[in-house]
Amino acid sequence: GVSIVTENGLEAVRIDTELCTGLVYRNGAHVAEWTPKGSEPVLWMSGSSHFTDGTAIRGGIPLCFPWFGPGRDGDRTPAHGFARLSPWNLTSAELSPNGLVRLVFTLTGDDVADLGGFPADFEASYAVTMGTAMQLALTVRAGEQPLEVEEALHTYFAVGDARQVRIEGLDGADYLDKVAGDRRTQSGDVTFTAETDRVYFSEATTRIVDEQLGRTIVVEKACSANTVVWNPWVDKSEAMADFGDEEWTGMCCVETVNALGDATQLSPGASHTMSATISLT
């Protein structure tokens, strides 16, 4: 079933059905767990994460909105937007006869402590559907002013060893390499051999092939022009207080994103939905 619980001192929704188990914190509408029955957890969580209302959680699926990182001009705070720091409202929770659980969380300007200059009359809603697959759909509606929105489902996946996985689906895609500070073109599959922080200009489905865990994670996207691939490697994970020094080998981020030149432009009253469906093969 579906129950409201306190987990790590925070309000959360726990899901335990015939198809999967899951956990979603109200703070940030943050999906922290999705585990299909009979599988290992699909999402990675740091053992050093903070769990405090108004603070980002490390791992799972931080929801970045209405800007990504410092925003396209590089000057926005808080980093990755206010959505992951805000208390979302659970407006519906349904268990359907086919065993799927669908949660809907909403956020408006009234819920946000610091809008960082963003218009208050937006409405965001986030539908999380969990079963043997998981679907995530973020819908944003503009109020009376036009909106420019960056957004990311900043998904941390659990992997056997980041140095041995490969990500299929990005061959030939252009990307911004945020470590090197230049633009490049992907040749072949993506592998991790050093700190990796890239914004791919690609709507394609990606597959994280993990021979060690004997599984492939498939990320299918809709209305997402960018895929961000991130692994902090040694030095950057040591520098992050909420990320264990040895943990980076067990994770990689493959994120469903609209950012930079692909930020979503909404005219007054218009809405837009970005979504991702995650499954295992």
* Site for ligand BG6, rule CB under 6 A: 56, 69, 79-80, 154, 178, 197, 228, 230, 253, 255
* Rounded Cα gap, residues 151 and 257, in angstroms: 6
Tokens of 34: 């999705």
CB of 80 to ligand BG6, least distance (A): 5
Catalytic entry in 80, 151, 154, 247: 154
Catalytic entry in 150, 151, 247, 255: 255
Q: To which residue do tokens 């490390």 refer?
A: 58
CB of 246 to ligand BG6, least distance (A): 18
In DSSP notation, 222-247 reads: ES--EEEEEE-HHHHHHH-TTS-TTG
* Residue in 104, 149, 139, 140 with CA at minimum distance from that of residue 122: 140
User: Quick one: 141 or 156, whose CB is closer to ligand BG6?
Assistant: 156
CB of 60 to ligand BG6, least distance (A): 11
Q: How far apart are the first and last CA of the chain?
A: 25
User: Quick one: 60 or 87, whose CB is closer to ligand BG6?
Assistant: 60
User: Quick one: 166 or 236, whose CB is closer to ligand BG6?
Assistant: 236
* Rounded Cα gap, residues 174 and 152, in angstroms: 19
List the beta bridge partners of residue 226: 201, 257
User: Quick one: 64 or 130, whose CB is closer to ligand BG6?
Assistant: 64
CB of 149 to ligand BG6, least distance (A): 16
Is 154 annotated in the active site?
yes
Rounded alpha-carbon distances, angstroms, from residue 109 to 69, 70, 106, 277: 20, 20, 10, 27
The residues assigned a catalytic role are: 154, 255
